[in-house]
Structure 1
């Protein structure tokens, strides 16, 4: 009997790898190729025929393209096909194979020789479940890290002819574009070269590069909190020019102590990032404060911060059940949304930004807010009576906006709310706790929980 069920689809790298690790490959069938995953079926010579220039180029190109995006997975052992009713190719069949078809040392050598800069690519094998009469074997996964924005772009040190032969003294810059790979246009390469020349002549002449979106940090935190199926509001902050490990992360008075003893407006049981039950734990040179199912914080080794708050009755929808229309806890509490937003920036602006000199970028990401039954928000304060407060529905499942950090908690909180309210087709002035271009802390504290 076959294990698993068709068409469940994985919506993140973490979920896809979890299915493979649990020997549930059929759960992945139905997953579309995207900017973070590409499926490879396996012909007799393996996923990539490294005995040919074309096979070497394809491997190098795929790795470089994912590194120029937000990182991704090359998943070998699935057949993907594009149907007329679908926008992208979709994994439609499992095709596990024998391990002898892949020599991971040769794969590593090709990537090392033909991709610049050098990338720390990881290789993983996963077993197909035993006893399946329809298929047997293994799955091979290549995990490609995102290249930091300051180091982009990754390039393949060879071009290739239509006949599949390497062109010496040539190079290409592949870019992942949805479920396909494009190449950086010549005009863009020319512009980048000139920007570099201007930067050498004077630091003020070059335009600053955009800060990389920490997609993987959101996925890691979401999985750690068990919120893969939960609508989540993410707050993120990253230094524009990371400088390696933040000093004193675990020292007395360092970030670990600050997270463990947060200076909040109302105490650990209110709507902030503190916890009365959990302590921050070390994680890969950083910190993880996971207080599921409400919220959690991830601090990376370079100081970048990701916060996740559930858009359910546990947090953003707290005490809003009575004001919904029977479709579940959908309404967002204006008070809770405002307070947890302000508390994030009180923590990050005051205690994290000073640790890394230079500009920072803040970001908010609302994930799955439009997924049925959808999250709703209304103008004004939280209703005092069920019939008050006309609500607006969230209009996107992947709302993602950033701005240069101001370093002032009340002003940065205002910027975050301005972007969040726009998700619902509302102006931030509809929030009763904002004045001019900032959140009014005094007004917020007047509100009784």
Structure 2
């Protein structure tokens, strides 16, 4: 097996399935490292500090990525890239996260907000034990490029005073801009979109798989099929201002401007209030729905695909068949998410945003179904279609128009069931028609 994306790799680690990652090649988005007795990076040496700073800066310059520690990688015969060939989990005491942060703060400019995560190896594995350490590196905004390391090293691995270098991830390797090219960039004000070294094009914002799993756990939805909505700034810029201020995001979540009140199908709650969570906000209405806003503005919404939420008034058939999703509830929940996020959250972080929908567990027994057309009257005759994937994950550049973004989300959701979004009665061309939705009497 192998992981073909950051979200899939993190999903394997979260599910304690590290062996599924074996066979994954190093690339522009992932680098594997095994741990020595001093850890993945020996920060007691200048060379170890430089290697950490270099690797992080290189990923930031090439669109972001993951440094995954706890796997041995090797280049196989007739292959271009090194491939993860063995799991090598290790003891947490080999890594002091504060020391890693200190090195990046001292040696990388501009300051990068890398994130650090631990994942457990399966306890029942008789062959090995330990943990995996992952560094998630965000992409650096074009306007702030390039990230540089404020030290270079000599052949003995010792820092050279007054030196610096600009590393760039190129495939599974790291290249350094030669002096002549650095000189040209300096004359351009270090603000150019072109590079003399082949650079992998910038990718959309990193898939926040961990945020989805954290929200799922908070809502006690581990065994529930869940539809996630997620909105991520392509280039986060630290803490969003006014998270807890009067009129800020906390007030927004507490007093949402919904289409039909807090008891309808939206993300507000008449009983729950948003709670501070690691610099952000969590509005949890378990086991039906929940909304998480992270400190950098990233929004994750989770709706249960059960009779408690997306299957309201439909549920399962009497013979214990699949969970049926209500067309009306799905459409209103989708539109309400973007009515909340597009006008109120996106403007807080400049630049492009990426919207994403993830349908998780939709084919798990007894499965989920969606039918073309409107919701049928009792006894629910129709032609419902079964979901075709339990890991449906699609994204698009945020349009900033709630009705247009809701259409894009529904277009991807309908495809999960082998349906065309035009069979949704609340769609007009390329947008959800709010008027038609409000005319429906649930």
TM-score (norm 1): 0.68
Check if 1:255 corresponds to 2:249.
yes
SS in structure 2 opposite 1:419? helix
Quote the residue 1:6 is aligned against.
none
- Which of 404, 416, 419 is equivalent to 2:412? 419
Quote the residue 1:32 is aligned against.
21
CA–CA separation in structure 2 for the residues paired with 1:54 and 1:315: 54
CA–CA separation in structure 1 for the residues paired with 2:235 and 2:122: 45
* Mapping 1:3-402, distance limit 5 Å: 27=16, 29-32=18-21, 40-44=33-37, 46-48=39-41, 58-64=51-57, 67=60, 72=66, 74-76=68-70, 96-97=90-91, 99=93, 111=104, 115-120=108-113, 141=133, 143-150=135-142, 151=144, 154=147, 171-174=166-169, 212-213=205-206, 215=208, 217-228=211-222, 230-238=224-232, 246-322=240-316, 328-329=322-323, 331-353=324-346, 356=348, 361=353, 363-368=355-360, 371-373=363-365, 375-384=368-377, 385-391=379-385, 393-395=387-389, 397-402=391-396
- Which of 427, 433, 441 is equivalent to 1:434? 427
SS in structure 2 opposite 1:321? coil
What's the CA shift for 1:402? 1.5
Quote the residue 1:23 is aligned against.
none
Q: Deviations over 1:152-176 (max 9, x none)?
A: 665667899999999987643126x
CA–CA separation in structure 2 for the residues paired with 1:233 and 1:275: 18
Change (3 A) 1:154 1:378: farther
CA–CA separation in structure 2 for the residues paired with 1:347 and 1:199: 35
> Does structure 2 retain, via aligned residues, the 8 Å contact 1:155–1:174?
no
Change (3 A) 1:417 1:46: closer
RMSD: 5.2
> Does structure 1 retain, via aligned residues, the 8 Å contact 2:234–2:354?
no
Change (3 A) 1:181 1:271: farther
> Does structure 1 retain, via aligned residues, the 8 Å contact 2:363–2:387?
no
TM-score (norm 2): 0.68
Change (3 A) 1:444 1:80: same
CA–CA separation in structure 1 for the residues paired with 2:351 and 2:42: 45
CA–CA separation in structure 2 for the residues paired with 1:70 and 1:441: 37
CA–CA separation in structure 2 for the residues paired with 1:414 and 1:126: 36
SS in structure 1 opposite 2:19? coil
CA–CA separation in structure 2 for the residues paired with 1:362 and 1:325: 41
> Does structure 1 retain, via aligned residues, the 8 Å contact 2:113–2:138?
no
Q: Deviations over 1:390-409 (max 9, x none)?
A: 415335724222234243x3
> Does structure 2 retain, via aligned residues, the 8 Å contact 1:29–1:92?
no
CA–CA separation in structure 1 for the residues paired with 2:168 and 2:339: 41
CA–CA separation in structure 1 for the residues paired with 2:48 and 2:222: 36
Structure 1 gap ranges (5+): 1-9, 20-26, 202-207
CA–CA separation in structure 2 for the residues paired with 1:276 and 1:366: 27
Matched pairs, number: 411
> Does structure 2 retain, via aligned residues, the 8 Å contact 1:288–1:298?
yes
> Does structure 1 retain, via aligned residues, the 8 Å contact 2:57–2:149?
yes
CA–CA separation in structure 1 for the residues paired with 2:369 and 2:214: 26
